[in-house]
Structures are given as C-alpha cells and as structure tokens.
Amino acid sequence: MSIVVVGAGPAGVRAVETLIAHGQRPIWIDESPRAGGQIYRRPPENFRRNSRTLYGLEAAKARRLHGAADAAARTADYRPATLVWDICDGAVQTAGPGELGVVPFDDIILATGAMDRVIPFPGWTLPGVFTLGGAQVALKAQGAAIGRRIILFGTGPLLYLVAYQLAKAGAELAAVLDTSPASAKRSALPRLLADSIMLAKGFYYVAWLKAHGIAMESGIEPLEILGTSHAVGFRYRTAAATQREVAGDAVAFGFGLRSETQLADLAGCRFAFDPLNRQWLPAMDEEGRALGVAHVYLAGDGAGIAGADAAERAGERAALALLTDRGIAVSNARRRWIRHRLARIERFREGLERAFPFPAHLARRMADATILCRCEAVSARHLRASVAGIGAEELNRAKAHCRVGMGRCQGRVCGAAAAEVLAAALNVEIAAVGRLRGQPPVKPLPVGLL
C-alpha cells in the first residue's frame, strides 16, 4: 500500500518514523532541502553553529528530532526540495528540482505546518519589514540579523522567543512591543500551568531580556511603520495611550500563527471554523482522520496551531490511525498516552490564546488607505467597496470583485485580515464570511516547468 507524507517538520518526521516502525516505507515529500520544519529548521549543511547556539533551550529536542528525521530519511522514499502543488484523483502533483511528477497514493498524511498570522499596518510592505518567523529564519538558517537595530512587535510566545534568540546572537533590539496587555498574561496563568516547563521557559526568556536591558512594553497599539523606501522606525500608542516613536532599520512582527490548509482543501477535506484559532480548519476526528474524505490524515500546525511538541505527538497519532485503518496492530496504550498528552497541550494552548489574544479589532478597523493584499496592492478601501459595489457577503465573491487574494500568495498573508475587514463591513461574525478557496498550484510554478 502506498502512503505519502507531506511535510518534514515535527509532525511529518514522527509520522514517517511511526510508519517505518510498523513496517511501512512511505513516500516522504518536503519542500525544504533539509527536514526539521520551522522551529527546528536546519541551516545549510556547510554551516557550523552547534545545536545549543541554534536552538537554545530546545537543543536536545532539536537533536532528537533531527536524528529521527535523518534515520527515517534513510528508509523512507524521501524527496526533499519538492513541492506538492495539487492533490486530486488519488495522486499528488509534485514539482521537484527542475521537473514535475505525479505520485499516486492509497493514504496520505498532510503535515503542512504554518506561517505567521499578520495584520496589515501602514508601511508593512516596506523593505526591512518581515514576519517574526522570517526574522527567525534569517538568524537560524542564514546566521544573519534582519537589520542593525530591530523593532519587534505583535503578540504571542514567538515574539519573546525571537527577541531572546536575536539578542543572544548579538543583534541590537530597539524594542519588543506586545499588543497583549499585562493583565491578559496574568489571567492566563492557571491554564498555562498545564505545561509548566514551557511556561518556565517563557518566564526565562522575558527575564533574560529584562536583565539585558531590552526595552519591552505590553498593551501597545501599532500605528505605523515609518519610512519611504525602507523601514526607519515604528510609531505606536503605549498602554497609557501616549504616542511614541522608536527608531530602527528593521521590523519584524506577527500575531501568532495560522495553519497552511491549501492542500487539505484541494484534497477534499471538509472545513469547519475553529474559534480558538479563529480560522477555518480541515475537520478531523480525535485521531487525525480528515472528515469528508477517505484516506486523508492530518497532523501538526497545518491542521490547527498547537506547537512543535503537539505536532510530534499528532504526527505519530495520525500514523497510528492510518495503520489501524489498514488493519495493522498498534499499541493502544501509546494511543491513550498521546491523547492524554495532547489534551494537556490543548489546555496550554488555550492559555496562550488568552495570554496573547489576536487583536482582531486592529484588523477590523484598518484604515481605508492601508494596503491589505500586498501581492495585488489592494487597499482595505477596495475590499469594503465590494460590499457596496456588488453586495459581496463572502470572501470569494469579494476576491472576484476587488482582487484580494488573487496574487501570488493566494491569500496566505492577507486572508485572516481580509476576513476581519469584510466581517466588520458586513457587521457579521467572522465565520460568516467564509474562507478563500484553495486553487492549484498552491505556490507559483514557472510556465516552463509545467
């Protein structure tokens, strides 16, 4: 039986490892040249920093995951640097280095990960402005800081992790500015105790930053990224409602993560709106089987944000479900343990959402002139005009009219904010405006390659 696993982050690695341990040889397809995903991203082979330098407190986990990945890659039919750009008729369409392919499957596990969730602000398309995840990639995978004096803003644990990693590596941080108020973080503490180790790490990062004199604020409101041809600073409102400007030549921001669900959409998964993630996600049962379509399994942040630890467990869980469905005996004790572990992480995750809430209100009242869709240079005004112009009441109709989401990224970057703006304009719940439909190819493909 032919099994395809898409993605080589923590979820994909453990899924493949589990399948191999039960006698299978899956076809393992990943876009990156090296397995590891984002948190455990590995630089190119000729880089020298050790895992402690690269991953800090997660070094041991990273080493274990990379070890597992490398071992699995020796047994699996491993195809790195290969994009899956469509799924239909029981096969995936691939684009590897220089050529296309078609890989049929009997079962497929999608572990497609996530990217930062962003809200457009004036100036966000300027050179020198990146996502928090992007700043982390520059550091981890390229050994570079995104600028000489870096401003970080947004919310979520990644804000503090990236700040810590950059400062520790010798980058100059101008400020670390969190939109979540201190009170939100305090009220989340009971839930965050569900993973006391993770919570302790968070405290450690904040304490370290404080001890090293990094300016940090909570409860801020982002106003504008300053500059004409590139970023030169950031203007914001403090928790005390005064306006402040901080100078810097690089800005990185993000508000948590959002799942990459386009392949799940093309594979025919049924979607449901998830209030915690505030995103439409592929629906699955409690073991990772996709609902609405047979032979599709989901794992990791690509099916709902829960972090790297949860992704490892979910990858194993999906593989165990697949094996069970194929009549292969698996350990029920192990399944129970995974279920228990993931339940704890889910409580922690709820705590994170409470500590670092997504500031949807900032998206909803985005100024008309702000570029909302950066691929197509569509402003918030244009999206709002679709409501007046053709009575657009859901995202795809609005997209057809004003081009939001029609560009190269197919709405990955602007989709969350576009939904907020449209829902606000219509005065409806966020779920009511639907989601942008996935269309192949999930990423741009040169005509010459086709």
Partner 1 sequence: MSASAPGGQFVRLAETARRRIVIALGDRPIEALEGDSLLTALLLNGRQLRQSEFRDGPRAGFCLMGACQDCWISLADGRRLRACTTPAEDGMALEEIS
Partner 2 sequence: MSGSTAMRADALVLGGGIVGASTALHLRQRGLSVVLLERDRVGQRASGVNFGGVRQQGRALAELPLSRRARQIWGDLPRLIGIDGEFEVTGHLRLGRSDAEMAVIEEHCRAAAGYGLQIELLGRNALMARFSWLGGVIQGGSFAPDDGQANPRLVSPAFGEAARRAGANIREGIEIVAGRAEARGFRLVARDGSEFFAPRLFNCAGTWAGKVAAWFDEDVAIKPEIPQVMVTEPIAHRIGPVLGVVGGDLYLRQIPRGNVIFGGGEGAVSEDWLRSRPKPAVARTTARTAVGIIPHLKGAAVIRIWTGVDGDTADGSPVVGPSRRHAGLFHAFGFCGHGFQLGPAVGAVLVDLAVDGRSDTDISGLGIERFLDRPR
Question: Which residues, in sequence order, are CB contacts of 16 under 8 Å at separation 6+?
Answer: 5, 8, 26, 28, 72, 76, 319
Asked if 450 interacts with partner 2 (CB under 8 A), we say yes
| Binding test (CB under 8 A) with partner 2, winner from 276, 385, 400, 431 | 400
In the set 264, 371, 410, 415, which binds partner 2 (CB under 8 A)?
A: 410
Contact residue for partner 2 among 328, 385, 432, 445 (CB under 8 A)? 445
CB of 93 to partner 2, least distance (A): 5
Instruction: Please give the Cα distance from 189 to 354 (Å, whole number).
Output: 9
- How many residues interact with partner 1 (rule CB under 8 A)? 55
Per-residue x/- track, 362-381, partner 1 (CB under 8 A) = ---------x--xxxx----
Please say which residue, 6 or 19, places its beta carbon nearer to partner 1: 6
25 binds, among partner 2, partner 1, none (CB under 5 to 8 A by kind): none
- Both tokens assigned to 88: 């239909």
Q: What tokens were used for 181?
A: 């108020």
CB 235 within 8 Å of CB 255: no
Stretch that binds partner 2, among 196-204, 249-257, 325-333, 402-410 (CB under 8 A): 402-410
Binding of partner 2 by 24 (CB under 8 A): no
Q: Which of 22, 31, 237, 439: binder of partner 1 (CB under 8 A)? A: 31
Binding of residue 401 to partner 2 (CB under 8 A):
yes
Q: How far apart are CA 248 and CA 265, in angstroms?
A: 40
Q: SS3 of 15, please?
A: helix
Q: Does residue 265 belong to the site contacting partner 2 (CB under 8 A)?
A: no
d(CA 348, CA 342): 10
Residue 230: φ, ψ to 5°: -160, 165
Q: Taking contact as CB under 8 A, which single stretch among the options 1-9, 223-231, 269-277, 390-398 is the one that binds partner 1?
A: 223-231
444 binds partner 2 (CB under 8 A): yes
381 lies in the binding site for partner 2 (CB under 8 A): no
Counting residues that bind partner 2 (by CB under 8 A) gives 24
Residue 27: count of CB within 10 angstroms of its CB: 20
Contact 189, 166 (CB under 8 A): no
390 binds partner 1 (CB under 8 A): no
- At 285, list the tokens: 């049962």
Q: Which does 400 bind (CB under 5 to 8 A by kind): partner 2, partner 1, none?
A: partner 2
End-to-end CA distance of the chain: 29
Tokens 């402003």 correspond to what residue?
379
Spatial separation of the C-alpha atoms in residues 418 and 380, rounded to whole Å: 8
Is 428 a binding residue for partner 2 by CB under 8 A? The answer is no
Rule CB under 8 A: say whether 52 interacts with partner 1: no
CA quadruple 227, 425, 183, 414: dihedral sign: negative
22 belongs to the binding site for partner 1 (CB under 8 A) = no
Beta bridge mates, 87: 92
C-alpha to C-alpha distance for 163 and 431, rounded to whole angstroms? 33
Is 184 a binder of partner 1 (CB under 8 A)? no
DSSP 246-262: EE-SEEEEEESEEE--H
Q: Of these, 21, 137, 239, 400, which contacts partner 1 (CB under 8 A)?
A: 137
Question: Quick check: 143 binds partner 1 (CB under 8 A)?
Answer: yes
Under rule CB under 8 A, residue 212 binds partner 1: no
Query: What mask of x and - would describe binding to partner 1 in positions 229 to 248, judged by CB under 8 A?
Result: xx------------------
Q: Are 122 and 370 in contact (CB under 8 A)?
A: yes
Instruction: By CB under 8 A, tell whether 148 contacts partner 1.
Output: yes
Instruction: Answer for the pair 103, 4: CB distance below 8 angstroms, yes or no.
Output: yes
Beta bridge partners of 173: 150
**Interface with partner 1 includes 125 (CB under 8 A)?**
yes
Q: Which of 7, 304, 407, 434 binds partner 2 (CB under 8 A)?
A: 407
The contact set with partner 1 (CB under 8 A) reads 31, 38, 43-49, 53, 115-116, 125-131, 133-135, 137-139, 142-148, 169-171, 228-230, 249-250, 260, 371, 374-377, 407-409, 412-413, 443-444, 446, 448
